[in-house]
A and B are shown apart, each in its own frame.
Chain A
Amino acid sequence: MSDNNTTTKAASVPQQRDAETATPLLQVKNLAKHFPIKGGFPIRRTVGAVQAVDGVTFDVNAGESLGLVGESGCGKSTTGRLLTRLLEPTAGSVTYRGQDISHAGRKQLAPIRSEIQMIFQDPYASLNPRQTVGSIIASPMEINGINPSGGREARVRELLEIVGLNPEHYNRFPHEFSGGQRQRIGVARAIALEPKLIIADEPVSALDVSIQAQVVNLLQKVQKEMGIAFVFIAHDLAIVRHFSQRVAVMYLGKIVEIADRDSLYLRPRHPYTHALMSAVPEADIDVVKKERIRLEGDVPSPISPPSGCRFRTRCWKAQDKCATEEPPLVQISGNLPGHLTACHFPEDPTTERTQDIILDPALVALEDEPAGGDKA
């Protein structure tokens, strides 16, 4: 009920977005990052590469929130770091407002850095323990030579108030704050320059459940009131669903499916998306999972990913074609516009399934023996 004031302000944002849909804020094309693996003695050579991100294409519109989900090692954090140009891509391009920044130098990046900010996962490692909260939040302004009217200190106090901290705590050090409060400091620092885009890399996964919700609500408030576009990276499908209007699912360095929230969560097409959704434990015991898919094993190593479709080694629908031909990320028949799926043999657009899919050999053995059940 107390959120009424935020919703009214948010109403102006969609119009703003419509005006700018012609040119997305950020365009990412075939983005790739391979980390070399060095080995050998006495001369160290590059013996391989971790293909952390391998050909990712998506757009971020002004004011929208794009969720990036996937399991560990799927390249979502690397993607985030490429977008902020903390890393230089191996291939592909990142275009921010029509300007290609994929290989831009320090000087060229300087004006853009203030418009693309980042919130990090670990609130303990991302704040300098030797600086006061005041100087941490003021440093983006200092670096960019911004002198707000009323002085930087007044602006910092204002920011502290926006993120729900006591402005009196201006002179405190990070260790005097709890994890959730530290993450608020990280948010204050990210919004200090009123950026156009914030990359939030697992901003709540290090926090306790009750604190997670506080920070999610804060980010949502910031997003709506300031009209900032977000790339929200997380592994928790429920939080991503709550926060993002559009969601991209990543697997081993590729986007396997990208769609509007409802389209993705209610009508997923890629088998991996189905598997992810069915794996999320529901706290509501009356919600009976309509699908039960249990994959086999873990995500393969990104050093030598499977040929063709990368999910084929754990997929129940894989055929020969999947090994030879990489499925393109396209709008397959039956999908709504904007719903792209990279799969040769997509699933039905529903989250219901009459028969369980159990690929885990241990589960198959255990469940078939005693129950002698009806499982396939």
Chain B
Amino acid sequence: MTTLTQTEDAKAPTGSDAFLSVRDLRVQFSTEDGIVKAVDGLSFDLERGKTLGIVGESGSGKSVTNLSILGLHNRKATSVEGSMMLDGQELNGASERDLEQLRGNKMAMIFQDSLTALSPYYTVGRQISEPFRKHTGASKGESRARAIEMLGKVGIPDPKNRVDDYPHQFSGGMRQRAMIAMSLVCNPELLIADEPTTALDVTVQAQILDLLKDLQQEFGSAIIMITHDLGVVANMADDLLVMYAGRAVERGSVREVLKAGQHPYTWGLLGSMPRLSADVNEPLRPIPGSPPSLLNPPSGCAFHPRCEFPSLVAGDGKCSTLRPELPTGRAAACHLTAEQKQQVFIETIQPRLV
């Protein structure tokens, strides 16, 4: 079913079976203060039915990546380079017409803030049925029935009546459910969830995450889950991509990254998160400093000013001059050698995490 499209990029893995394949994506905004390199050479693959978690702090480029996949960026002020292949179709540079065919149909998005993402002027039912009518050509009655079905599926009580409600009549958790219903109405093959539960309370977050997981099994969508919460990806995602300052710094399966991280930034994230199972007398280990400005990112490895371990790297000041590349497959973009990473992780990092 997949069209075999060989990407021109030589260092790309054999990404032929990948459903979504992003290669060397660069997104830049021109602002008054200069050019912001929001995403700087990002590559990843996503298979059908799998979940990719993208973790990073604010400003690490995770949202921008996904807005450019959907073509929702401001075209006038943004330059997007690189290739984004969705099921053999190039998304970068695709016409607005083509993208409209895909958005809401083959790929859909769940936004963080459901109150601003839903229009206050239209009923929830109309907003859910609109993409369905547009993409399948269904009649008004059919699409309304579909909206009611979807609302029921995501757990809105009494969907027959609530379909005519406006977003403000829904609670926060219900609005998020309605947005999930809207994104799934056309059985998308790719679902991008941008911090879908950050604005919600924990008990509601648990409901929504479980709902997404169960719906994924039913619909078979591939999900890109963007979040800053390692706890959320730990039980949602198959693979994990850690981003810092517009670049991917580590890639691997969830287990590999969380249990045997290789990048100092990943270690820092793990050490700064308080956990319910951790020893309370053990102080948190924050990453010193603050995330860099993307207007003027640090030279070499963008993480080196906050890193604990540049002194271990052979070659004088290599970290501040030479930017480490992220090899394909399970890897981290760091100058430490594999043995050093393993040694540091076992000797220094792991004891802190117990």
Q: Mark B130-157, 1 if CB is under 8 A from A, else 0.
A: 0000000000000000000000111101
Which of A281, A286, A295, A367 is B231 in contact with, Cβ under 8 Å? A281
The chain B residue sitting closest to A214, CB to CB, is B286
- Does B2 touch A at the CB level, under 8 Å? no
Contacts known (A285-B254, A298-B171); A238 close to B214, Cβ less than 8 A: no
In the complex the two chains form, is B207's CB within 8 Å of A360's CB?
yes
Residues of A within 8 A of B344 (CB): none
The interface on chain A, measured as residues whose beta carbon lies within 8 A of the other chain's beta carbons, has a size of: 52
Shortest beta-carbon distance, B191 to chain A, in Å?
A: 16
* Total number of B residues with any Cβ neighbor in A under 8 Å: 58
In the complex, the answer to whether B258 meets A283 with C-beta atoms within 8 Å is yes
Interface residues of B in 307-348 (CB under 8 A from A): none
Contacting A235 at CB < 8 Å: which of B177, B202, B283?
Answer: B202
Q: Which residue of B lies closest to A2 (CB)?
A: B283
A235 to B204, CA, bound (A): 13
Known: A208-B57, A362-B211. Is A216-B235 also a contact (CB below 8 A)?
Answer: no
Decide if B273 is an interface residue (CB 8 Å cutoff). yes
Distance in Å: Cβ of A72 to nearest Cβ of chain B: 6
Q: Give the docked Cα–Cα distance between A363 and B153 (Å).
A: 9
* Residues in chain B near residue A276, CB distance under 8 A: 202-203
A280 touches B202 (CB 8 A): yes
B173 located at the interface, meaning its Cβ lies under 8 Å from any Cβ of chain A in the complex:
yes
How far is A279 from B235 in the complex, measured between Cα atoms in Å?
12
Contacts of A366 in B (CB 8 A): 153, 211, 214-215, 217-218
Cα–Cα, bound, A287→B286 (Å): 22
Identify which of B202, B209, B214, B255 gathers the most chain A CB atoms within 10 Å of its CB: B202
Evaluate contact between A282 and B204: CB separation under 8 angstroms: no
B277 touches A284 (CB 8 A): yes
Whether B57 pairs with A285 at a CB distance below 8 angstroms is no
How far is it, in angstroms, between the C-alpha of A297 and the C-alpha of B154 when the chains are bound? 11
* A interface: dominant SS: helix
Least distance between B209 CB and chain A CB atoms (Å): 7
Tell me which of B202, B228, B255, B275 contacts A282 (CB under 8 A). B275
Contacts of A48 in B (CB 8 A): none
A277-B283 in contact (CB<8A): no
CA distance A314 to B185 in the complex (A): 29
**What separation, in Å, do the CA atoms of A370 and B138 have in the docked complex?**
28
B230 within 8 A of A: yes
Known A-B contacts A210-B272, A298-B172, A360-B207; the reply to A285 vs B258 at CB < 8 A is: yes
Which residues of B are found within 8 Å of A330, using beta-carbon distances? none
Please indicate which of the listed interface residues A241, A276, A279 has the most CB atoms of chain B within 10 Å of its own CB: A279
Taking a contact as CB atoms under 8 Å apart, the answer to whether B203 and A213 are in contact is no
Residues of A close to B155: CB separation below 8 A: 360-363
Contact between chains at B280 and A241 (CB < 8 Å): yes
Which A residues touch B215, using CB under 8 A? 366
Give the nearest-CB partner of A282 in chain B. B231
The reply to whether B280 and A261 form a contact with Cβ atoms under 8 Å apart is yes
Is there contact, CB below 8 Å, between B217 and A370? yes
Interface residue? B297 (CB, 8 A): no
Residues in B with CB closer than 8 Å to A209 are 57, 228-230, 269, 272-273
B-side contacts of A275, CB under 8 Å: 203
> Is A230 interfacial (CB 8 A cutoff)?
no
A220 within 8 A of B: yes
What's the Cα separation between A202 and B26 when bound, in Å? 36
Q: Does A211 touch B at the CB level, under 8 Å?
A: yes
For B254, the closest partner residue in chain A by CB is A285
Asked if A239 is at the interface (CB within 8 A of a chain B CB), the reply is yes
Interface check A139, CB cutoff 8 A: no
Tell yes or no: A144 within 8 A of B by CB: no
Q: Are B259 and A216 in contact (CB under 8 A)?
A: no
Compute how far the CA of A168 lies from the CA of B254 in the bound complex, rounded to whole angstroms: 43
Which residues of chain B are within 8 angstroms of A365 by Cβ–Cβ distance? 153
Which residues of chain A have C-beta atoms less than 8 A from B230's C-beta? 209, 283
Chain A, residue nearest B354 (CB): A284
Contact status B157-A213, CB under 8 Å = no
Given contacts A71-B203, A217-B284, A286-B259, contact A370 B218 (CB under 8 A): yes
Residues of A within 8 A of B286 (CB): 210-214, 216-217
Query: Given the complex of chains A and B, what is the CA–CA distance between A241 and B275 in angstroms?
Result: 9
Q: What distance in Å separates the Cβ of A316 from its nearest Cβ neighbour in chain B?
A: 13
Chain B 204-233 interface residues, beta-carbon cutoff 8 Å to A = 204-207, 209-211, 214-215, 217-218, 228-232
A178 surroundings in chain B (CB, below 8 A): 290
Question: Given the complex of chains A and B, what is the CA–CA distance between A298 and B275 in angstroms?
Answer: 25
Q: B193 at interface (Cβ–Cβ under 8 A)?
A: no
Residues of chain B with a CB closer than 8 A to A299's CB: 201
Chain A residue numbers with a CB within 8 Å of B232 are 281
Question: In the complex, which residue of chain A has the Cβ closest to the Cβ of B265?
Answer: A210
| Chain A contacts with B in 92-128, Cβ cutoff 8 A | none
A281 and B235 contact, CB distance less than 8 A? yes
B215 to chain A, nearest CB (A): 7
A90, CB-defined interface residue at 8 Å:
no
| A294 at interface, CB cutoff 8 A | yes
Residues of A within 8 A of B290 (CB): 178, 180-181, 211
Closest beta carbon of chain B to A233's beta carbon, Å? 14
Contacts of B201 in A (CB 8 A): 71-72, 235, 298-299
**Chain B residues within an 8 Å CB radius of A298:** 171-174, 201, 204
- Measured between beta carbons, the chain A residues less than 8 angstroms from B231 are 280-283
Complex Cα distance A10/B332, Å?
40
Q: Is B102 an interface position by the 8 A CB rule? A: no
State the CA gap A272–B223 with chains docked (Å).
31
Q: A367 near B214 (CB under 8 angstroms)?
A: yes
Asked if A45 lies at the interface with its beta carbon under 8 angstroms from chain B, I say: no
Q: Is A265's CB within 8 Å of the partner chain B?
A: yes
The 6 closest A-B pairs by CB, nearest first: A362-B155, A281-B231, A213-B272, A213-B286, A279-B206, A71-B201
Q: What is the interface of chain B, defined by CB distance below 8 A to chain A?
A: 57-58, 152-155, 157, 171-174, 177, 201-207, 209-211, 214-215, 217-218, 228-232, 234-235, 254-255, 258-259, 268-278, 280, 283-288, 290-291, 353
Q: A213-B286, A360-B211 are in contact. List 17 more A-B contacts (CB 8 A).
A: A72-B172, A208-B57, A213-B273, A216-B274, A216-B286, A238-B273, A241-B276, A282-B235, A282-B276, A282-B277, A284-B353, A285-B235, A286-B259, A287-B277, A297-B174, A362-B177, A366-B211
Q: Can you report 14 residue pairs joining A to B where beta carbons are below 8 Å apart?
A: A209-B230, A209-B269, A212-B272, A213-B286, A217-B286, A220-B283, A242-B284, A265-B276, A279-B203, A283-B273, A284-B277, A285-B235, A296-B207, A298-B174
Give A contacts to B, CB under 8 Å: 3, 71-72, 178, 180-181, 208-214, 216-217, 220, 235-239, 241-242, 261, 265, 275-287, 294-299, 360-363, 365-367, 370
